Chains A and B, each alone.
Chain A
Amino acid sequence: MGDTKKPDKDGGTSTPSPLNPKQQSRRDFLEGAGATAVVTTAVPVLGISAANAQQADNAASAPTTSIRLTVNGVSHSVDVEDRWTLVELLRDQLDLTGTKIGCDRSECGACTVLMNGKPVYSCSQLAVWADGAEITTVEGLAQNGQLSTLQQAFVDNNGPQCGFCTPGQLMTATALLNNSQSPNSDEVRSALVGNLCRCSNYNAIVEAVVSAGEKQGGVA
């Protein structure tokens, strides 16, 4: 699929972390744990199979297009179904599951990625529209195993609570900090209006972005 090796699933680092020496991702863990649930919930599983079968029928006639795009600096040539959204391509084909699907309708911001440097909702872009684009996802923020200043500020300020909105918040805030040296809290709030946090941890998120901006801008 990709020209080069597939990115790692969660975060793009290949150095074993002292916090996670087995390099087991949360996804691997949940998928493993899910095997038990299958045995105990026969009815929903049958329902899902029927839905998958129908999906497969449709897929036989679904138009596809070959596209080329760069994701986190890695070039990919991919055959995509025209109806796939960009987030479906990222998660289901490129295994970049850091980008989340929340509402799947441009309302929550969990799917935010940078497209040619600008934050967009990847649930509301067709993958074919990203042909030739440069995409940055949350996996592209850490460099050489080192969290970005913003990611570290999220850790230091308890930005994530449940964490589901965090990848989207990080991407929108990354775009803000790329264009604005040290934004104040009002500017951060207005830049982040398109990213909902159902834990309502907005104050900590805004503080994290402001403090990352101060570090970056050399104020602090």
Chain B
Amino acid sequence: MKTLSNINASSISDAVAAAQQALGNGQSIAFSGGGTDLLQQIKDGTDRSDVIINLRNVTDASQITSNGSGTAIGGLITLTDLSGSDVSAVLAEAAASVGTPQIRNVATLSGNVTQRPWCWYYRNGFNCYKAGGNECFSVVGENQQHAIFGGGPSFIVHPSDVAPALVALNASFVVSGPAGERSLSAQEFFVLPSQNPQQENVLAPGELLSGVNIPSAPSNTVSTYHKIMDREAWTHAEVSVAAVLTLAGNRVEAASIVLGGVATIPWKLDAVESFLVGKELTEAVVREAGALAVADAQPLTKNGHKVPMTSAAVERTLMSLASV
């Protein structure tokens, strides 16, 4: 592997200070939670960081704490711990669907939410938007796994499973950096390629996602995460659906539905949500919701299969939550 130096941080503020110092010395940095993906990128040359700031020994950002208004989750909680937590079914299921046990044992919530895209052009060293270039090779290339929502000028899909679950739970994202801490809504945290084609979120160099806050939900709220993959395990979503419904019997009082695997950011289905509110979750209503989910889809030349797949995934997810 290329030459690099490792710095062990003992707290989030320690990590931020170490990052500032390295950046001040003209070095490039990367924060490392579990490191499984980061080390691949370094070996492949798609990440050329001089300094790795190891967050393994940080103890102030891996807890789950609840109070009257909601739940705060430290960004460095491992996906194994998150998948065994009882914060919310959608979040535990999303965490459990990532990678393999070996990955989940070290991978963190923050690392999963902020990992770089898995587009095969970007990961194989093409000088695309995500690598700092000014082209998206998928447009006239192999775009089977690319975005049907939110694309242009880059058409990557956001790779996270945990992120759609967090957005569906209306979480806010706590960013720590040299200016201190700020809390952002999902809308403020994730950025479309039309806003900035090089990044998937607003994090500046030296900033990290240190935690999330999830507001309390009514007790009659149910949720789940469905992920469709092109093999049974250890891969990213072809399409995934994070759904959080507040149900009175079988009538929808509130709905939050977010797609993964098909859009450049976690893709909130506002139209489907407002369509569902006030309706009974019958098969006819669910089918209509599935059709509405893809009304704005813009498939590329080779990813048209994702359109009916997304409809079906939305329908199945909603039916699994219906109390019939």
Q: Do A and B come from one complex?
A: yes
The interface of chain A, by Cβ under 8 A from chain B, is 58, 61-63, 65, 82-85, 104-107, 109, 112, 115, 118-121, 123-126, 128-129, 131, 172, 190-191, 193-194
Verify if B43 is at the interface (C-beta below 8 Å from A). yes
| A54 to B43 Cα, complex, angstroms | 16
Contact A126 to B101, CB < 8 A, known contacts A61-B3, A65-B6, A83-B2:
no
Give chain B nearest CB distance to A213 CB in angstroms.
16
| A105 to B101 Cα, complex, angstroms | 15
Would you call A194 and B103 a contact (CB within 8 A)?
A: yes
Would you call A120 and B102 a contact (CB within 8 A)?
A: yes
Would you call B5 and A63 a contact (CB within 8 A)?
A: yes
Contact of A128 among B39, B54, B233 (CB under 8 A): B54
Contacts of B43 in A (CB 8 A): 104-105
Given contacts A83-B3, A85-B39, A106-B103, 17 further A-B contacts (CB under 8 A): A63-B6, A82-B4, A82-B5, A85-B1, A105-B43, A106-B37, A109-B102, A118-B105, A119-B102, A121-B102, A121-B103, A125-B106, A126-B39, A126-B54, A129-B54, A193-B232, A194-B102
Give chain B nearest CB distance to A113 CB in angstroms.
9
Closest to B100 in A: A194
| A124 to B40 Cα, complex, angstroms | 7
Contact of B100 among A62, A65, A193 (CB under 8 A): A193
Contacts of A123 in B (CB 8 A): 39
Task: State which size class the interface on B falls in.
Answer: 20 to 34
| A139 to B183 Cα, complex, angstroms | 48
Contacts of B275 in A (CB 8 A): none
A-B CB pair tally, cutoff 8 Å: 85
Closest to A125 in B: B35
Contacts of B35 in A (CB 8 A): 124-126, 129
24 contacts between A and B (CB under 8 A): A58-B2, A62-B3, A63-B3, A65-B6, A83-B1, A83-B4, A104-B43, A105-B43, A109-B100, A121-B102, A121-B103, A123-B39, A125-B106, A126-B6, A126-B35, A126-B52, A128-B6, A129-B35, A129-B54, A172-B102, A191-B101, A193-B233, A193-B234, A194-B100
Give chain A nearest CB distance to B68 CB in angstroms.
34
Contact A119 to B101, CB < 8 A, known contacts A62-B3, A106-B36:
yes
Closest to A62 in B: B3
Give chain A nearest CB distance to B191 CB in angstroms.
27
Contacts of A85 in B (CB 8 A): 1, 39
Would you call B234 and A120 a contact (CB within 8 A)?
A: no
Closest to B38 in A: A124
Give chain A nearest CB distance to B30 CB in angstroms.
12
Verify if B56 is at the interface (C-beta below 8 Å from A). yes
Which 7 A-B pairs rank lowest in CB-CB distance, beginning with the nearest? A194-B100, A63-B5, A193-B233, A82-B6, A124-B36, A83-B1, A118-B105
